[in-house]
Structure 1
Amino acid sequence: MAKLRVGLLFGGRSGEHEVSIKSARAIAKALSAEQNANKYEILPFYIQKDGRWLAGEAPEKVLATGTPLLESEQSTSSEGNLTSNPQAQTLSKWQSPSQVAQVDVWFPILHGPNGEDGTIQGLLTLMQVPFVGSGVLGSAMGMDKIAMKMAFEQAGLPQVKYKAITRTQVWSNPCVFPKLCDEIEAALGYPAFVKPANLGSSVGIAKVRSRQELEAALDNAASYDRRLVVEAGVVAREVECAVLGNDQPQASVVGEITYDSDFYDYETKYTEGLADLLIPAQLPDAIARQIQDMALQAFAGVDAAGLARVDFFYVEATQEVLINEINTLPGFTATSMYPQLWAHSGVSFPELVDRLIQLAIERHSPS
């Protein structure tokens, strides 16, 4: 049988560009592993930070080196550079590039805005070619923390108290801002977490313990997004569960994240040695099963597909489990929590990548 040509799409315009490259390298290695090498051919596509799409030698170089492409290294060939002018893209750019037309199934591994928020999923849907992961709705709801929380409420999943606000409330009227802070303090108290609604990897997130810190955090978060969420702080263990599947998904063993920093911020997530992953988490069996069940409910609640990692707070003092968030395109390096959870559940990294591609094809096929 002819090999399936997998369009490995990575890089992107978000602040998680470098993380995407690491994930793509791990996936490329898994696709080249012995059990997959005769099934798949990799066609890499690299999106630069300026939005330019590159095929051919340029993405292969990025995969080989693990570093973003410098401006001086950009491909100048008409075939390698799929969108040489991002500001003047037209439909004709997409009608005939040979590399795009050859793809049998897409594997987007773009983290953050323009990668896991439904935008690239909409483009891939228009191409009418299977792609790994959630569609437009699941991706958008999984990215927007406010929409996500509303979906969790609808599904009956317990979560921390929160308040959704907008940039307009923070910036437009100096007289309204103090009242807004009063309402947040009354509803949530301290400590609290201020977050942009649509950014990943803890970008723009701050833990606040006073009015002064709250005001500064709201102003900072508003510079990242027009929608913000403030959450009540909780003393709890942070545990995670991976989900794999489409209409009949499965949940992995439960893992736990431990760290010494004040909270699980960007630096702690991506600096080696600052956080430890404990798999499986040392939890009562009933609690572990509850977390797995809630992960599957959350997956269905946002209409996710293929893969997701669901994060929870376990309040040990009260035996309470609170859902935190769902990530529909989690980090995918060999040391990331998602593939490690499945490795401890009996699914190796190469097998996991293979199953995700097959799930993409299954979901795209007419029933």
Structure 2
Amino acid sequence: MKTKLYVLYGGKSVEHEVSLKTAVTVLHSIDESRFDAYPVYITRDGLWCTPGQLSKVGLTVERLIAQPELRDPARSIGEILSGMMALPGPKVVLPLLHGSNGEDGTVQGLLELLNVPYVGNGVLSSALTLDKAMSKQVLAQAGIRQTEFMACRFEEWRSDKTAILSEVENRIGYPCYVKPASLGSSIGISRCTNQVELLTGIGEAFSYDKKLVIEREVDGREIQVAVLGNERPLASLPGEFIHDHVFFDYETKYMDKRLAMSIPAKLADGLTSRVRELAILAYQAHGCEGLARVDFFLDGDGEWFLNEINALPGFTNFSMYPVMWERTDGTSYSELIEKLIGHAVARHEAKQTIRYAR
């Protein structure tokens, strides 16, 4: 019997479109001799629905978008769970939900309650990695170097803007980056070189989240490492996007056709092995399982600064994460999906040995 693979995509998130692009690529690449794919679309309002089983032939983003029959999120989720996801036989869930309400532990918690295997990180690691402020505390505890930073909640900002501006200018300095604490894909992030830009950037970040992080800029290269596995994770060769942008924002990441990948990144002796070690250390410090991409800065003195860890990195066939694995050990895109499914099943089976009664 083939395994039923429930692919969740879309989501109540500003990264909705990124998720759709990921889902198209994944559905094109699934081995239909081993898996029956069941697409589950989550609207921007959090409604769950399905376009039904789809053929790979002519599959597009537009065909993935379904029209929900139910307008209540709880009822729509119940309909999917009691119908499609209650079908008999082996099953695995593949969440392709970037950002809030999907990559932050919320959907993972639901899947834990359903006791089904699912690809990617669990509740705690998903929540930690998406919340940049909490992640930085974990990294500090693990002794991993980061740039100078501070976190700020909306109520703190509203209560004493003068004190926070003073702290930023005296401790962080310019240029600095203002980031919503719990978003990815560089959405809502601003590079600030003076107080006017800082005020604008803080306002922008707070429109996406009620907590933000402000970081000192590191003048150096951006290097990424893909990590894969559960208890004994592996790190890929490091990769780098070659570009001439001062700030690698959303438009640059997804729309600049001039971007070029350098994999492996051209690094001095010893730096490659060190950054792979640091990537695994950060991965394990967050309790990650399945996959993550770990992003670093390398300054002119050869010092590594961990920027952030992404528990559900971009996953189209031209995204850095799968390409790094292909160039590290020859793993194809479809093989990578199967490895991730294998790690999900292994983790689920291990959990079944846990006792819940005395």
State the TM bucket, normalised to the shorter chain. Answer: over 0.9
Normalised to the residue count of structure 2, the TM-score between the two structures is 0.92
Instruction: Determine if the alignment matches structure 1 residue 135 to structure 2 residue 131.
Output: no
Contact 2:48-2:73 at 8 Å conserved across structures: no
Shift of 1:162: 0.2
Shift of 1:95: 5.8
Contact 1:196-1:228 at 8 Å conserved across structures: yes
Aligned pair partner of 1:286 in 258, 261, 270? 270
Contact 2:49-2:80 at 8 Å conserved across structures: no
The one-letter code of the counterpart of 1:210 is: N
Instruction: Determine if the alignment matches structure 1 residue 220 to structure 2 residue 213.
Output: no
Contact 1:48-1:69 at 8 Å conserved across structures: no
The corresponding residue for 2:7 is 8
Shift of 1:300: 0.4
Shift of 1:303: 0.7
Structure-2 separation of matches of 1:13 and 1:95: 18
Where in structure 2 are the equivalents of 1:277-356 lying within 5 Å?
277-315=261-299, 317-346=300-329, 347-356=331-340
Shift of 1:90: 8.4
The corresponding residue for 1:19 is 18
Aligned pair partner of 1:361 in 345, 352, 356? 345
Aligned pair partner of 1:66 in 52, 61, 68? 61
Aligned pair partner of 2:43 in 45, 48, 52? 48
**3-state secondary structure, aligned to 2:270:** helix
Q: CA RMSD in A?
A: 2.1
The corresponding residue for 1:249 is 233
The one-letter code of the counterpart of 2:301 is: T
Shift of 1:262: 2.3
The one-letter code of the counterpart of 1:122 is: G
Moved more, 295-304 or 58-67: 58-67
Shift of 1:101: 3.6
Structure 2: gaps (5+ residues): 354-358
Where in structure 2 are the equivalents of 1:30-109 lying within 5 Å?
30-31=29-30, 36-57=31-52, 64-67=59-62, 74=67, 76=69, 84-87=70-73, 89=75, 93=79, 96-102=82-88, 104-109=91-96
Structure-2 separation of matches of 1:239 and 1:38: 37
The one-letter code of the counterpart of 1:15 is: V
Contact 1:113-1:198 at 8 Å conserved across structures: yes
User: Structure 1 pair 302/351, CA: closer, same or farther in 2 (3 Å)?
Assistant: same
Q: Percent identity?
A: 40
User: Structure 1 pair 91/268, CA: closer, same or farther in 2 (3 Å)?
Assistant: closer
Instruction: Determine if the alignment matches structure 1 residue 178 to structure 2 residue 162.
Output: yes
The corresponding residue for 1:275 is 259
Instruction: Determine if the alignment matches structure 1 residue 152 to structure 2 residue 139.
Output: yes
Structure-1 separation of matches of 2:128 and 2:57: 31
The corresponding residue for 1:262 is 246
The one-letter code of the counterpart of 2:250 is: Y
Contact 1:25-1:63 at 8 Å conserved across structures: no
User: Structure 1 pair 354/58, CA: closer, same or farther in 2 (3 Å)?
Assistant: closer
Contact 2:47-2:68 at 8 Å conserved across structures: no
